């Protein structure tokens, strides 16, 4: 087994590489969520947060198109109306999900929100290390 080459060599550690602590924190949060919630609850806030980030991705198309020099070479059919309709439907979906499962929607946003100060602290620490 040791004589086979690896699929891809590991790159040298860079400040952008997640630390063992970050991975351990993510694993701890995942274990806590599994222990405290039902599968349905976990899926509810996972879906809620995932849909938010999908909406951010689609909304970024409008930002990219407005920046000089960053214009993508091609856009999908129906731009900008397809993106606008998609974002409107996502807003409806998020509203209905939040009304049906307010606790899970809040928890999903809270978990992501708690990650921001941790990310900022790690980023500041890695900048000082450079």
Burial class (CB in 10 A: 0-12, 13-18, 19+), 31: exposed
Domain that holds residue 81: 27-129
Q: Is the dihedral angle over the CA atoms 15, 20, 24, 25 positive or is it negative?
A: negative
Whether 10 maps to a domain, the answer reads no
For residue 37, what is the DSSP state?
S
Give alpha helix (H) positions in the chain. Answer: 20-36, 39-66, 81-100, 102-129
Whether 1 maps to a domain, the answer reads no
- Phi, psi values for residue 31, rounded to 5°: -65, -45
Whether 14 maps to a domain, the answer reads no
Whether 19 maps to a domain, the answer reads no
**pLDDT tens for residues 14-32?**
655 566 777 787 788 888 8
Whether 16 maps to a domain, the answer reads no
**pLDDT tens for residues 27-73?**
888 888 888 878 888 888 788 999 999 999 999 988 888 777 766 66
Domains: count for the chain:
1
| pTM greater than 0.75 | no
């Amino acid at each position: 087994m040791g004589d086979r080459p690896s699929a891809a060599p590991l790159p040298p550690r860079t400040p952008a590489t997640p630390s063992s602590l970050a991975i351990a924190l993510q694993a701890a949060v995942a274990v806590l969520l599994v222990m405290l919630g039902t599968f349905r609850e976990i899926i509810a806030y996972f879906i809620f947060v995932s849909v938010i980030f999908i909406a951010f991705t689609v909304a970024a198309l409008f930002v990219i198109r407005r920046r000089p020099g960053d214009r993508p070479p091609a856009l999908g059919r129906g731009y900008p109306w397809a993106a606008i309709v998609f974002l409107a439907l996502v807003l409806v979906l998020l509203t209905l999900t939040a009304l049906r499962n307010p606790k899970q929607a809040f928890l999903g946003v809270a978990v992501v929100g708690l990650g921001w100060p941790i990310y900022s602290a790690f980023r500041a620490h890695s900048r000082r290390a450079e």
